[in-house]
Amino acid sequence: MMDTMPHWLEKRAQLTPERTAIQLEDGTDHTFQKMRDDAISFAYQLNTAGVQRGDHIAILSQNSYEMAVAIHALSYIGAVGVLLNTRLSPRELAYQIKDSESAFLLYDERLNDKTVALKREDIHARTISFTDVRSLKETSFQAAREINLNKTFTIMYTSGTTGFPKGVQHTYGNHWWSAVSSALNLGLHEHDRWLAALPLFHVGGFSILIRSLAYGMPVHLHERFDAKKINDEIMENGVSIVSVVSVMLEEMIRTMGDDQYPETFRCMLLGGGPAPLPLLKACKDKNIPVIQTYGMTETSSQISTLSHEDAIRKLGSAGKPLFPAQLNIVKDNQLARPGEIGEIYVKGPMVTSGYYKRKDANARSFKNGWLKTGDLGYIDEEGYLYVVDRRKDLIISGGENVYPAEIESVLKEINGIYDAGVAGKKDEKWGEIPVAFIVKDESSEVTKESVIDYCKTKLAKYKVPKDVFFVHELPRNASKKLLRRKLSERLNGDM
Amino acid sequence: MMDTMPHWLEKRAQLTPERTAIQLEDGTDHTFQKMRDDAISFAYQLNTAGVQRGDHIAILSQNSYEMAVAIHALSYIGAVGVLLNTRLSPRELAYQIKDSESAFLLYDERLNDKTVALKREDIHARTISFTDVRSLKETSFQAAREINLNKTFTIMYTSGTTGFPKGVQHTYGNHWWSAVSSALNLGLHEHDRWLAALPLFHVGGFSILIRSLAYGMPVHLHERFDAKKINDEIMENGVSIVSVVSVMLEEMIRTMGDDQYPETFRCMLLGGGPAPLPLLKACKDKNIPVIQTYGMTETSSQISTLSHEDAIRKLGSAGKPLFPAQLNIVKDNQLARPGEIGEIYVKGPMVTSGYYKRKDANARSFKNGWLKTGDLGYIDEEGYLYVVDRRKDLIISGGENVYPAEIESVLKEINGIYDAGVAGKKDEKWGEIPVAFIVKDESSEVTKESVIDYCKTKLAKYKVPKDVFFVHELPRNASKKLLRRKLSERLNGDM
């Protein structure tokens, strides 16, 4: 009994048919009733194409209304969506399609070139574009009226920052609890409008779609990140919540100049890794209500966030685990003391039950219902989480632990530095040494020497970058998360 | 994994220790941290008294901070609370204590006289007052850190309006989903304060305690209903939501005179049976944001409510079933057509899994996961529920169905009539005839004849009361729900 509930889109269309479900960049809006009708039609057409309950269906698309409709259509069929990152190479995509045993690849025809290249990779999946599907006749069937919370809804591959891609399985229940947990934390206002510029193929974007159904809330769906456009949406179109990562927020602040966001804007939900303190301070100065979060694909988005009331007092913290979630710090197989850095373990109904077909990884990552995240952090005396770094990026230099994010935060304090990434370079004497990659303002007079001198004033000697490279941009994935692994590769060759 | 979550009070005290959990009528407030510490102490003392995991513990208390602490203490032990209605006679109470197999009776010493009488009823439960428990030493044990959503938390006996008392079992999951469903419907504002004047021993009051934990929201807990005090709380103390039944709301409106509630007040949650149209119209005139609801003990409070945006267009409707809930109208074992009156069936994770030890009643009431409520209603063309009446109160006169609530609604339109109840009187010719009981303003000149004349102008002849009795008050239960059965007994002797 506890495991079933009404089909989300069907229910939402019954409750508030005329409310906006999705508003696009050009102002077009689609109501929940229209999205429901379009998803049913699309499901009937997929049925004609041969898609069946339980099938895995890979989706390759940028953010679009059609992509949302396709996802909901799969839920009417009871098929599982495998959401592909459009930035991946054909070879990487083919790996995920095969690993997930996808029967079909649904793609947006704007990605036709990539799809053509992908077909050469022998993917064993039938390939069909959104437009092709929509040209099929509709074969009706008994569309799902209920959702079983224990069934898998999506598979998303973990981003490259944490190693070889693994398919994270999300049940409907994972997504549901994530949406509910977020509401209990952030509140739920009648006039909320949530902007999604993060890709829907990552959980940070996808989760906004689910919240929209559960809350009856419009999503402002952007195809890609454009700081000015997002600022305009906040200033003029009543957007009240935006999900961002640090690099996006930094650009939004630069772009907005001396403006201030209106009172209708109530939450900048900041995820995707530790945020640099200078950024958080800049937000404080501009009265931008930043909610710093910690989460990952495996936790179906946020699992810990810093509440409004603590935003300033605990600047830089990712707060406390959401109401239905638990979080522990473990060091040497024991609970760490307050302030002691260890591995972050999480537990809760929004946490994936496991990676698809990865018995070994599952055995390694899950223990008595807890997920070992591989991330490092500590909890202070008052119970606030501070995420120190991703374990994978940890630099060990002369036996001392060096956390790249800490150094990056210092580098970003320097005037004229837009972006910074730090990685470890192999070193005969010390094991590894930290090296900085910097994106600077072209007019800036920052030099390698001035950077190192500044760091010396702020950091223990072993943490000061031993070399500095000025670059035009840093490698980031589609969620704008810094790929330090790529920096390491540049420093060390193929790792 | 999906079935466990952190212990609610423990978690809430970790998240927002300093927020107010309960504020009493005298202004005293208790934080979540204090309530947590008090509940742990009380649990340790109950442990000393011999209360064990899985025990059923009857609680006899008016609304008080101590009662809330006792309830939470049971959840730390994993014991089940059997919540007793303080208005019942010793004999009725003894029945519930025995039927629920309660090992202990915990009572507020202010109800000492009733408890003394109760002990004579041979209840086979150890009897101990809150004060006595607090005088015991604390014996510590491993208090629950997690909650299993499938375990029973409370048993509440169904009110007399629907027949012989049956113990409705609520799991933690039932209460959780109820709280979440309410938030998804009403929204969740940072500054919400919910006033509970409904008794905590009924689900309408109890559910406010659970919402408080899930939302981190203060409850203004009143020992009993006092219209002026509640109005003051709304006017001066920032209360934003109040749960009421019609008779309470009517008195609040009379008491407030020409005042208007401030903008901080955002929701009058109206339950406990069909609301009379004149009341809803009066609220509309005074800009009181009434949300009409339909629910019962078996659904852990509201299961269908009328949303803000429809409040005026659909005056008198109980709206649509909450997001995780489903509702059907069944007539002659088939789904009724729009507009057709039938029995209301409900389904959802907030619906009880059954009555305690009532195999026959459970077999009668549950069908494929649906609960047959015994209530009558219809759904209009747009999907809005109209509750017509409780089946048990249905008057059948000359083969025509007569719904008491409809007649009462007309009676309340008459100037000088405060309250009205209608029941069926046995009649040789017609089977039953409707009879009215009326509470009028003492200065009013309303007479039996003028009442009947007015009804003749509003109702079909067979619906017009054939007799009218003026009384000082109507029989209502502790939730102020009209007990039409009592009226029937007055008319027909022992039924």
B15 chain-A contacts, CB cut-off 8 A:
307, 320, 323
- Strand pairing class (A342-347; A366-367): unpaired
Chain B nearest-CA distance from A213, in A, is 9
pLDDT tens digits for B317-368? 899 999 999 999 999 999 999 999 999 999 999 999 899 999 988 998 998 8
DSSP state of B476: B
Residue A478 has pLDDT above 60, yes or no: yes
Buried b (16+ CB within 10 A) or exposed e, A272-300: bbbbbebbbebbeeeebebbbbbbbbbbb
- Going by pLDDT thresholds of 50, 70 and 90, the confidence category of residue A309 is low
Q: Given the DSSP bridges, would you call strands B370-379 and B366-367 parallel, antiparallel or unpaired?
A: antiparallel
Residue contact B320–A149, C-beta within 8 A: no
Residue B48 has pLDDT above 90, yes or no: yes
Name every chain B residue with its beta carbon within 8 A of the beta carbon of A18: none
Which letter does DSSP use for residue A120 in this model?
Answer: T
Q: Name the region of B309 (left: φ>0; alpha: ψ -120 to 50; beta: rest).
A: alpha
Which region holds residue A179: left if phi is over 0, alpha if psi is between -120 and 50, else beta?
Answer: alpha
* High-pLDDT (> 90) share of chain A, %: 71
Query: Cα angle at B270 between B266 and B274, to 5 degrees?
Result: 150
Q: Decide if A320 and B215 are in contact by the 8 Å CB cutoff.
A: no
Lowest-pLDDT choice from A107-111, A224-228, B91-95, B218-222: B91-95
Amino acid at position A440, single letter: K
Chosen from A36, A153, A323 to mutate, greatest number of chain B CBs within 10 A:
A323
* pLDDT the model gives residue B387: 86
Mean predicted confidence (pLDDT) in A445-451? 93
Could you say which DSSP state residue B298 is in? Answer: G
- Does residue A161 surpass a pLDDT of 60? no
Nearest-angstrom CA–CA distance, A106 and A60? 6
> How crowded is residue A310: how many other Cβ atoms within 10 Å of its Cβ?
18
Pairing assessment for the beta strands B104-107 and B56-60 based on DSSP bridges:
parallel
* A181 three-state secondary structure: helix
Give the residue from A388, A358, A391, A386 showing the smallest Cα distance to A373. A391
A476 pairs with which residues across the strands? A482
Residues 342-361 of A with CB under 8 A from B: 347-349, 351, 353
- The mean pLDDT of chain B is 91
Residues of A in contact with B177 (CB under 8 A): 2
Task: Flag whether pLDDT at A160 surpasses 50.
Answer: no
* Chain B nearest CA to A410, separation (Å): 30
Which pLDDT score, from 0 to 100, does residue A162 have? 43
Mean pLDDT across A294-318: 86
Strand runs (DSSP E) across B120-245, as ranges? 126-129, 146-148, 152-157, 167-171, 194-196, 219-221, 241-245
For residue A477, count other CB atoms closer than 10 A to its CB: 19
Q: Which residues in A lie closer than 8 A to residue B349 (C-beta atoms)?
A: 1-2, 4-5
Residue A456 to residue A464: CA distance in whole angstroms: 6
Q: Are A343 and A373 in contact (CB under 8 A)?
A: yes
Half-sphere exposure of B487 (CA within 13 A, CB side): 31
ipTM, 2 decimals?
Answer: 0.87
In chain B, pLDDT over 90 holds for what percent of residues?
A: 71
* Full strand arrangement of the beta sheet holding B80-84: B126-129, B104-107, B56-60, B80-84, B152-157, B167-171
CB-based contact B159:B205 (threshold 8 Å): no
How far is the C-alpha of B180 from the C-alpha of A162, rounded, in Å?
34
Q: What pLDDT, in 10s, does the model give residues B116-133?
A: 999 888 898 999 999 999
**Three-state secondary-structure class, residue A304:** strand
Nearest to B67 by CA among B151, B129, B152: B129
Chain A residue with the nearest C-alpha to that of B180: A180
Q: What is the pLDDT of residue A390?
A: 66
For residues A481 and A39, give the distance between their C-alpha atoms in angstroms, rounded to a whole number.
32
Residue pLDDT, tens place only, A185-219: 999 999 999 999 999 999 999 999 999 999 999 99
Q: Are A283 and A306 in contact (CB under 8 A)?
A: no
Does the CA dihedral B149-B292-B477-B455 come out positive or negative?
negative
Identify the pLDDT of residue B495.
Answer: 41
- Does residue B339 sit at the A interface (CB-CB below 8 Å)? no
Pick from A2, A11, A320: CB nearest B173 = A2
> What type of residue is B273?
G
Residues in chain B: 495
Segment of A273-287, A474-488, B144-158 carrying the highest mean pLDDT: B144-158
pLDDT in tens, A170-185: 999 999 999 999 999 9
How many residue contacts between A and B have a Cβ separation below 8 Å?
90
Report the alpha-carbon distance of residue A211 to residue A218 in Å, rounded: 9
Nearest-CA distance B5 → chain A (Å)? 5
* Two structure tokens written together for B385: 């529920």
Is the CB of residue A2 less than 8 Å away from at least one CB of chain B? yes
Q: Alpha helix (H) ranges present in B382-440? A: 404-411
User: A331 vs chain B: nearest CA distance in angstroms?
Assistant: 21
The reply to whether residue B5 touches residue A349, judged by beta carbons under 8 angstroms, is: yes
User: Among residues 187-206 of chain A, which lie with CB inside 8 Å of chain B?
Assistant: 187-190
- Per DSSP, which regions of B409-460 are E strands? 417-427, 431-440
- B338 touching chain A per CB within 8 A: no
pLDDT band at A88 (very low <50, low <70, confident <90, very high): confident
Residues 6+ apart with CB under 8 A from B236: none
Burial B215-249 (b: 16+ CB within 10 A, else e): bbbbbbbbbebbbebbbebbbeeebbbbbbbbbbb
Does the CB of B308 have a partner CB in chain A at under 8 Å?
yes
Q: Rounded mean pLDDT of A393-402?
A: 72
| Strands ordered across the beta sheet of A320-321 | A29-31, A20-24, A219-221, A194-196, A241-245, A267-271, A290-296, A301-305, A320-321
pTM: 0.87
Give the closest residue to B487 by CA, choosing from B415, B432, B412: B432
For residues A2-13, average pLDDT: 94
CB-based contact, B326 to chain A, within 8 Å: yes
Which residues on B lie below 8 Å from A187 (Cβ)?
187-190
Query: Which tokens is A98 given?
Result: 């095969």
* CB contact residues (below 8 A), chain B span 128-167, against chain A: 149-150
When pLDDT is cut at 50, 70 and 90, the band that residue A245 belongs to is: confident
Interatomic CA distance for residues A352 and A388, integer angstroms: 23
B211, closest residue in chain A (CA to CA): A184
Burial profile B329-360: b = 16 or more Cβ within 10 angstroms, e = fewer: beeeeeebeeeebbbbbbbbbbbbbbbbebee
Angstrom distance (rounded) from CA A175 to CA B332? 39
Any idea what the Cα angle at residue B44 is, between residues B41 and B48, rounded to 5°? Answer: 135
CB contact under 8 A, A12 and B323: yes
Six-digit token pair at B374? Answer: 């015994």
From chain B, the residues in CB contact with A15 under 8 A are 307, 320, 323
Among B3, B6, B188, beta carbon nearest to A183? B188
Please list, in sequence order, all residues whose beta carbon lies within 8 angstroms of the beta carbon of residue A32, skipping any fewer than 6 positions away: A9, A12, A13, A16, A17, A18, A19, A20, A21, A213, A216
Residues A139-155 have pLDDT tens digits of 999 999 999 999 999 99
Distance of CA B254 to the CA centre of its chain: 22
Q: Which residue, chain included where needed, has tokens 């007040």?
A: B265
pLDDT tens, residue by residue, B145-204? 999 999 999 999 985 444 468 899 999 999 999 999 999 999 999 999 999 999 999 999
Q: Are the C-beta atoms of residues A70 and A143 closer than 8 Å to each other?
A: no
Q: Which residues of B touch A326 (CB under 8 A)?
A: 6
Q: Do A304 and A324 contact (CB within 8 A), yes or no?
A: no
Q: Answer for the pair A404, A391: CB distance below 8 angstroms, yes or no.
A: no
Cα separation of A100 and A157, whole Å?
9
Cβ separation of B187 and A184 shorter than 8 Å? Answer: no
**What pLDDT shows up at residue B19?**
96
In contact, A74 and A80? CB cutoff 8 Å: yes
CA distance A226 to chain B (A): 30
Interface residue B379 vs chain A (CB under 8 A): no
- Phi and psi angles of residue A137, each rounded to the nearest 5 degrees, phi first: -75, 160
Mutate to test the interface with B, among A2, A20, A36 (most CBs of B within 10 A): A2
Hey, are the CB atoms on A14 and B320 less than 8 Å from each other? yes
Region of residue A357 (left: phi > 0; alpha: psi -120 to 50; beta: else): left
State the pLDDT confidence band at B309, using cuts at 50, 70 and 90: low
Nearest C-alpha of chain B: how many angstroms from A176? 11
pLDDT value, residue A308 = 63
Backbone angles phi and psi of B438, in degrees to 5: -130, 135
User: Per residue in B375-406, pLDDT tens?
Assistant: 889 999 999 999 887 666 778 777 666 778 87
CA distance A158 to A83: 11
β-partners of residue A385 are: A319, A379
Report yes or no: B367 at the A interface, CB cutoff 8 Å. no
Q: Which of A150, A184, A320 sits opposite B2 (nearest CB)?
A: A150
Q: Which of residues 402-461 of A touch B (CB under 8 A)?
A: none
Instruction: State how far the Cα of B22 lies from the Cα of B15, in Å rounded to an integer.
Output: 16
What is d(CA B14, CA B32) in angstroms, rounded to the nearest whole number?
9
For residue A163, name the pLDDT band (cuts at 50, 70, 90). Answer: very low
CA distance A215 to chain B (A): 6
